[in-house]
Amino acid sequence: MSMVMVDIEADGPIPSDYSMVCFGAIVVEPSLSQTFYGRLRPISDKWVPEALAVSGFSREETLQFDDPREVMSKFSSWLKQHCRGNPKFISDNNGFDWQFINWYFHHFLAGNPFGFSSANLGSLYKGVVRDMFQSFKHLRQTTHTHDPVDDARGNAEALLAIKERYDLKIGLK
């Protein structure tokens, strides 16, 4: 089993009505050397300027991004190449990130290589330290920049720190 940390940026709150602009993924292993980055052309005419601004891209730029079907196909191939067994999806905000990745996989490829579940890094940390008011974010080494690969890397660093400090049993590639 391989854990894959994912972070996405979108131009609105939900998939289908709005678009995933870009996403990054990293296989959670000590080297953190296996990364994926995709930029996707919008699938909708709707977008929220404030949401898009977080990504650092303009609407005009996103219109030149890659075909979403091609990006999701490349991501699926990348997962097969770099993951052992079924990949496990984890993110900082899986309620947001998961909905887009899951929808895009099902819509464009008729299936999600991650299956039907995801994990939330923040909830995991709260359980490990037994305190619902704690945050893992101090364990990141890479600055949170809203570049999805940077953000996935910082979250993967935090997960590795949690594993080390608290003897957390997780599958690593």
Residues classed as catalytic: 146
Number of H helices, E strands in the chain: 6, 5
- Segment holding 15, helix H or strand E: none
Residue whose structure tokens are 């910082």: 154
Query: What are the beta bridge partners of residue 87?
Result: 2
Closest Cα partner for 59 from 77, 41, 85? 41
Cβ–Cβ under 8 Å, residues 12 and 46: yes
DSSP E strands in the chain: the ranges are: 2-10, 20-27, 35-39, 87-91, 118-120
